[in-house]
Amino acid sequence: MSALLDGLSWLCLVAGGVFCVIGAVGMLRMPDFYTRLHAASVIETLGGGLIMLGLLLQAGVTLVAAKLLIVALLVFFASPTATHALAKAAMERGVRPLLDPPEGTSSRR
C-alpha cells in the first residue's frame, strides 16, 4: 500500500509541476492581459492544487496534512476570486481584450 501511495503522490507532484511549467510558458507567450491572467489562474489552481494533493498524500494523517489542507482550501477559494476581481477591474479601467472588436461594430454577421 505504501508503494502505491508513494506512486500516486509522485504522479500528482509531477503533474502539478508540468501544469506549472505549461502555465508559465503560457504567461510568456500569450498576447494580452486576459489570456495571461487565464494562464496564471491555471498555474495557481490546477498546478498548485495537484502539488498540494501530492504533498498531502506524502504527509499521511498528521498535523502537517491538516495544515496543507487548510492552505490548499485557501488557495482553491482565493485564487479564482482574485483572478475574477483582477479581470473585472481591468474591464472597468478600459483594458480591452486583443481580439475585441471596436466600439460600434458588431461581431455578428
Helix (H, G, I), strand (E, B) or coil at 105: coil
Q: Helices 2-29 and 33-42 meet at what angle, rounded to 10?
A: 170
pTM given for the model: 0.76
Helix (H, G, I), strand (E, B) or coil at 102: coil
The grid cell for 84 is: 475574477
Most confident of 8-17, 29-38, 94-103: 8-17
Residue 81 near residue 46 (C-beta atoms within 8 A): no
Select the more confidently predicted residue: 103 or 89. Answer: 89
pLDDT, tens only, 51-102? 999 999 888 889 999 999 999 889 888 888 898 999 999 989 988 887 766 6
Query: DSSP letters along 56-100, please?
Result: HHHH-SSHHHHHHHHHHHHHHHHHHHHHHHHHHHHHHHTPPPTTP
CA nearest neighbour of 5 among 60, 52, 47, 50: 60
Mean pLDDT of 45-49: 87
Residue 22: DSSP 8-state: H
- For the chain, percent of residues with pLDDT exceeding 70: 90
Q: Has residue 35 got a pLDDT over 90?
A: no
